[in-house]
């Protein structure tokens, strides 16, 4: 979970002049990524013709290790001027999630030091965390200095594992996973009170931990009634301290399977037809029928032909001639008489003729 801010030194944009004055602070206003705008920070002074400032931050990264969320992480960074002219701190900008106090000195004489106190709010953070503080200076060789707070934040109540991944489960099979709910802060009165979820094909239950240990064992059961396809759920666990959510996900594989699971036409010459094929395979004991097949894209038609009636079918996808240039995307919607998989979708894609994004 990394947040970064792009910073440059120059004139202050009019819209920002009220916020980014020398020694000021802006928090959480810039976003990271390739599209992030550069923020120009106005400097109240330029290097003297008699010499130049030289900004030194002996500690640019503070690793606070592993902490329990709820209490702020604080640290004081120091910036020293090893140059021969005054060093000016123009603005201090933080990435979201932390705050920085005004520097103790905005103008630092040669040999002097300024302190910047920082604080990271850990209330809503979880897991490995990195936050940055960008300091603008008039040092021509260090116009911005990036200071970093990093560490691992764990909430007072933890779930191990943090999520339940069932993977791929055969339809009609029951599967069970367990999660341990534990307090990370000593509390003799800690209790796990309840667990609830919304998916009726997933059952949750709580039981005490062995040997009287604090916390509880959360059992998550995937029932045989879960229909084929992907599924997701959220288990909400309430405790005498903080609540905690455990995500649940996976896929139920039915008797019917498409091979391949999606079809690529590749690059097709302009105005030319093209064909691709797929198979629908039934691995179950009961024969099935394909009732219909329809395409969501009018430029692609489909037909179904039995290879072994009730067990295997050949699906032909036909790209019509004179289809328009560009990206081709769509889906075949296959209807069957299987009660567990009445509808199966087969995505297809490709490029026709010349395509420039």
pLDDT for residue 354 = 66
pLDDT for residue 125 = 79
Strongest mean pLDDT among 5-9, 32-36, 145-149: 145-149
Reported as a pLDDT band with limits 50, 70 and 90, residue 167 is: very high
Domain 157-253 fold:
Immunoglobulin-like (2.60.40)
167-171, 192-196, 297-301: the lowest-pLDDT one: 167-171
Alpha carbon distance 264, 300 (integer Å): 12
pLDDT at 165 over 50: yes
Q: Got the DSSP string for 42-87?
A: --S----TT----EE-S--EEEEEEEETTS-EEEEEEEEE-SSS-E
The answer to whether the predicted template modeling score (pTM) of the entire model surpasses 0.85 is no
pLDDT at 298 over 50: yes
CATH: 3.90.950.10, 3.40.1260.10, 2.60.40.10, 3.40.50.300. Which one for 7-154?
A: 2.60.40.10
Name the region of 283 (left: φ>0; alpha: ψ -120 to 50; beta: rest).
alpha
Name the region of 325 (left: φ>0; alpha: ψ -120 to 50; beta: rest).
beta
Question: What confidence tens digit (pLDDT) does each residue in 26-81 have?
Answer: 333 333 333 333 334 444 444 445 689 999 998 999 999 998 887 899 999 999 99
Question: What confidence tens digit (pLDDT) does each residue in 234-271 have?
Answer: 999 999 988 899 999 999 999 999 999 999 999 999 99
Reported as a pLDDT band with limits 50, 70 and 90, residue 101 is: confident
Question: What confidence tens digit (pLDDT) does each residue in 213-239 have?
Answer: 999 999 999 999 998 888 999 999 999
| 190 φ/ψ angles, rounded to the nearest 5 degrees | -65, 135
pLDDT for residue 199 = 97
Name the percent of the chain lying above pLDDT 90.
68
pLDDT at 272 over 80: yes
pLDDT for residue 291 = 96
**Coil/strand/helix, residue 212:** helix
> What is the mean predicted confidence (pLDDT) over 293-306?
97
Q: Got the DSSP string for 7-24?
A: EEESPPPGGGTTT--TTE
Q: Sketch the domain layout of the chain as residue ranges.
A: 7-154, 157-253, 256-352
Reported as a pLDDT band with limits 50, 70 and 90, residue 133 is: very high
pLDDT for residue 8 = 33
- Which residues face 154 on adjacent strands? 68
- One fold for 157-253 and 256-352: yes
Angstrom distances, CA of residue 126 to CA of 66, 69, 96, 111, 184 = 11, 8, 14, 40, 13
The closest alpha carbon to 274, from 331, 314, 316, 330, belongs to: 316
> What is the mean predicted confidence (pLDDT) over 176-192?
91
Round the average pLDDT of the chain to a whole number and report it.
85
What secondary structure letter does DSSP report for 298? T
**Coil/strand/helix, residue 211:** helix
pLDDT at 100 over 80: no
CATH: 3.50.7.10, 2.60.40.10, 3.30.450.20, 1.10.3720.10. Which one for 256-352?
A: 2.60.40.10
With a CB cutoff of 8 Å and minimum separation 6, the contacts of 341 are 227, 228, 254, 255, 256
> What is the mean predicted confidence (pLDDT) over 130-151?
93
pLDDT at 150 over 90: yes
**Coil/strand/helix, residue 15:** helix
The closest alpha carbon to 100, from 134, 59, 53, belongs to: 134
pLDDT at 19 over 70: no
Q: Are 11 and 139 in contact (CB under 8 A)?
A: no
- Which residues face 116 on adjacent strands? 77
């Amino acid at each position: 979970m990394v947040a970064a801010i792009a910073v440059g030194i120059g004139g202050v944009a009019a819209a920002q002049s009220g916020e980014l004055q020398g020694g000021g602070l802006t928090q959480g206003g810039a976003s990271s990524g390739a599209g992030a705008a550069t923020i120009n920070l106005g400097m109240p002074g330029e290097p003297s013709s008699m010499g130049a400032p030289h900004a030194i931050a002996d500690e640019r990264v503070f690793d606070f290790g592993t902490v329990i969320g709820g209490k702020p992480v604080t640290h004081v960074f120091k910036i020293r001027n090893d140059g021969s002219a005054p060093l000016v701190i123009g603005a201090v900008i933080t990435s979201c999630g932390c705050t920085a106090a005004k520097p103790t000195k905005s103008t630092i004489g040669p040999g002097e030091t300024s302190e910047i106190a920082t604080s990271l709010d850990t209330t809503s953070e979880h897991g490995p965390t990195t936050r940055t503080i960008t300091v603008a200076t008039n040092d021509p060789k260090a116009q911005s200095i990036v200071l970093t707070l990093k560490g691992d934040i764990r909430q007072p109540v933890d779930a191990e594992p943090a999520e339940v991944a069932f993977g791929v489960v055969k339809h009609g099979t029951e599967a069970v996973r367990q999660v341990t709910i534990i307090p990370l802060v000593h509390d003799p009165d800690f209790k796990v009170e309840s667990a609830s979820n919304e998916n009726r094909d997933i059952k949750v239950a709580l039981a005490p931990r062995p040997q009287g240990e604090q916390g509880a064992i959360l059992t998550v059961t995937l029932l045989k009634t879960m229909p084929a396809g992907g599924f997701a759920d959220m288990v909400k666990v309430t405790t005498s301290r903080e609540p905690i959510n455990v995500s649940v996900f996976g896929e139920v594989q039915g008797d019917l399977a498409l091979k391949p699971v999606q079809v690529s036409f590749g690059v097709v010459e302009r105005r030319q037809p093209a064909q691709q094929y797929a198979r629908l395979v039934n691995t179950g004991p009961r024969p099935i029928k394909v009732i219909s097949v329809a395409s969501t894209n009018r430029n692609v038609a489909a037909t179904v032909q039995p290879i072994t009636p009730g067990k295997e079918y050949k699906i032909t996808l036909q790209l019509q001639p004179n289809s328009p240039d560009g990206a081709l995307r769509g889906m075949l919607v296959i209807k069957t008489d299987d009660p567990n998989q009445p509808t199966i979708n087969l995505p297809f894609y490709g490029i026709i003729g010349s395509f420039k994004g």
